[in-house]
Structure 1
Amino acid sequence: MSARPSTTEFAPFYNGYIQLVNASSVSEALEKYADKILAFYTQIPAAAANYKYADNKWTLKEMLQHVLDTERIMSYRLLRIARNDQTPLAGFDENAYAAAANVDHRSWESMVEEFRLLRQTTHALCHSLHESDWTKMGTASGQPISARALGFILLGHLLHHKNIIVERYAAGPGMADYLSLG
């Protein structure tokens, strides 16, 4: 499934996400990270779901909702670009989405199950694409982007938030024990 994206295939904003993915192709990245990412996110203790490390920061539930929203948006962009749709795709305001999501009524377990299912559909989408689809270009948030870059961004975004959880949420209920296992 194609090589790593070149810097001409995505806006500089996404470089950090892409650099987190230590793989030479989307296929290799999916093989390398899919199970590890799923295990990491789905095994976070429910007791930590409402923990946030500082005022005006997201709880783990809010962060997981952001991860879900972003996965859907990036997958949608990937599908549109892979299908050669040249319609410019709008950006989104992650903080506005988080504020509107109102995750308080949701259980951690339901969100984790949604994450598991969403990852399966993203994985299936990536595996359904033809090799030639990965080099197709489109426009998202006013910037050129390739399907291949989106494949890397999808995984890099998950790794980015995994790193934030490890670095900043360790004081949450049950998190020290959980993080010591990994």
Structure 2
Amino acid sequence: MSNVSSLEELYADELKDLWSANDQMAKVLKKIAPKATHQKLKTILSNSQEGIGKHTEVLKGLIEGLDQKVKKEHCKGMQGLVEEATKHTIDDAPAKGPVLDAAIIAQYQRMTHYGITGFGTVAAFAGALKRSEDKKALDTAVAEIARGDELMSELAEAAINVQAAAKK
């Protein structure tokens, strides 16, 4: 983060950070998604990747609307989450099946919660800055990300965790 002296500058920096976070999450999901075995999990992961792309375009448009150079700022927070996701679902992953699917959901949700928090924060900044169209777009993104998280929780609780628990 550069030397920030106003909420508008902080807002711009956070948007750039979220862009990086989105790109990192999208990249790791491309590696993780093929490892999923449950069909509904595969579908949610695919839809999520489409959503991440859509939200990245929103971020780029908002940055451009601030008359800022449209570039991302590396997100170290998501970098750590991606490293953990890689470790638990690829490098030291359980065998293919419901336990791996449960690990995929856990890592997905950790990254998703980071996104919900980040998008929610910039939505609040947009509101304070009286950028109502920005706030509306960001609130929509938060709702969509939260819905993906809810779908993962429902799938985990109704099927995958139950199946994983049955594995001995």
TM-score, L = length of structure 1: 0.35
Greater per-residue helix proportion: 2
Greater RCO, CA 8 A, separation 6+? 1
TM-score, L = length of structure 2: 0.37
Greater per-residue strand proportion: 1
